[in-house]
Structure formats: C-alpha cells, structure tokens
C-alpha cells in the first residue's frame, strides 16, 4: 500500500473568506502533477452568497472547476444541494441557529474509499437515504471541541465510483498535520495521507 501525502489548505483557519481572488483564479494554476493515477479530483463547488447575480445562480450554481492531473476540465456537475442565502436560519429542537452558508464547498472525487482522511477527526452523527439516489448520505461533525464544521459524504448517484463530499463551516483549529499549499485553498481543507 502506497502512502500518498498531498495537501491544500487555508493558511489561516480562522479566515472564512473562501471567495478570495486566489481561489477564483485557481483552476488555471492548479496542478495535481504528483497525484497517483487512480486519484482524481473532478470538480468542486462553491455555494453562492448574496450579491451574486441571478444569471450566475441559474448556471447550476457552481462557481469554478478544478483541472485534473492532465490539465483538462472534466465532469462538471451541479451541486448536490444548494442554499441561496448567505445566512440561513435553522431551527433545531426549538433552538434557532444562524448558518453561514458561504463557507460551504463540495468536492467530487473518484475514490473507492467512502471517507477520505482529510486530516481532521470526524464523528458520524447520521445516515440517510436520499431521494433519487441508491446510495446513503452520511453526516459527520468535526470531533474537535467547539468546532462546528460539518461534512456530508455520499456517492454520486450517476457514477458510484465518485464520492461527493460537502464541507460546511470553517474549522477554528488547525488540522493535526497540515502542510500549507497556497495556490489552491478553497477552504481550510487538507487532503492527505490517502492510502491508495
């Protein structure tokens, strides 16, 4: 088993501004030149915030795609779920919560693994079958105390060889072992230690 290490992360975990110019320009600069052949990042999705045009929102609501290791753009798909407002209000057990929807980003990977080791420790808190998909959706929360980051993991219902991972929120702490990669920091997400 080969141990593959690769990271792209937010240099400042407390900076939730994922709409930096660095991010929007990233696909042209982004290279996965040292990734193994059987690992493919096919795209990622930013969730729109207030202030973006209606025209923009109508375009399946993705903002940018990432190139694969061969420099081509591939398999861009609409976000599995969307939120149109920067700030949502959720009511859970009678408690109203504001949710910062702008800090959501979804990745789509070709992977045989259901859950990739992204450097953070997650606690599973739910599993749900979703409509129009044969695959369950799994819900995770960051296990770090006081960190409210969540992620959803599900297999692409059109091609089950792909895994869609949606992150919501910004970690208020560092990953246990992050190596900063400054050219492609869509969120404070580190992908590393993939055992392929």
Partner DNA sequence: CGGCTTTGACCAGCGC
Partner DNA sequence: GCGCTGGTCAAAGCCG
> Applying CB under 7 A, which residues contact DNA?
81, 89-94, 121-132, 137, 139, 143, 150, 152
- Nearest to DNA of 115, 196 (CB atom): 115
- Nearest to DNA of 26, 111 (CB atom): 111
- Nearest to DNA of 35, 133 (CB atom): 133
Residue 141 CB, nearest distance to DNA (Å)? 7
CA atoms of 23 and 94, how far apart (whole Å): 37
DSSP the chain: --EE------SSTT---TT-HHHHTHHHH---TTS-TT-EEEEEEEPP-TTS-HHHHHTTT-----B-TTS-B------SS---SSEEEEEETTEEEEEEGGGEEEEEEE-S-SS---SS-EEEEEEEE-TT-SSEEEEEEE-STT---EEEEEE-SS-TTEEEEEEES--SS--TT----TT--SSS-----EE-
Residue 30 CB, nearest distance to DNA (Å)? 27
- Nearest to DNA of 64, 135 (CB atom): 135
151, containing H or E segment: strand 150-155
Residue 183 CB, nearest distance to DNA (Å)? 30
Residue 3 CB, nearest distance to DNA (Å)? 21
Residue 19 CB, nearest distance to DNA (Å)? 22
- Nearest to DNA of 137, 192 (CB atom): 137
């Amino acid at each position: 088993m080969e141990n593959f290490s690769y990271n792209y992360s937010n240099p400042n975990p407390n900076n939730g501004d994922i709409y930096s110019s660095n991010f929007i320009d990233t696909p042209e600069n982004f290279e996965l030149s040292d990734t193994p052949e059987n690992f493919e990042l096919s795209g990622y999705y930013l969730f729109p915030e207030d202030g973006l045009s209606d025209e923009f929102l109508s375009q399946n609501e993705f903002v940018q795609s990432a190139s694969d290791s061969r420099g081509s753009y591939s398999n861009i798909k609409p976000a599995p779920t969307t939120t149109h407002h920067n700030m949502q209000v959720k009511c859970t057990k009678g408690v109203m919560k504001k949710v910062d929807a702008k800090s959501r980003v979804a990745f789509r990977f070709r992977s045989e693994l259901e859950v990739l080791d992204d450097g953070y420790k997650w606690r599973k808190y739910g599993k749900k079958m979703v409509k129009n998909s044969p695959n369950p959706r799994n819900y995770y929360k960051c296990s770090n105390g006081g960190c409210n980051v969540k992620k959803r993991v599900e297999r692409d219902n059109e091609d089950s060889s792909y895994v869609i991972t949606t992150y919501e929120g910004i970690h208020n702490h560092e990953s246990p072992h992050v190596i900063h990669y400054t050219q492609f920091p869509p969120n404070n997400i580190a992908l590393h230690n993939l055992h392929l």
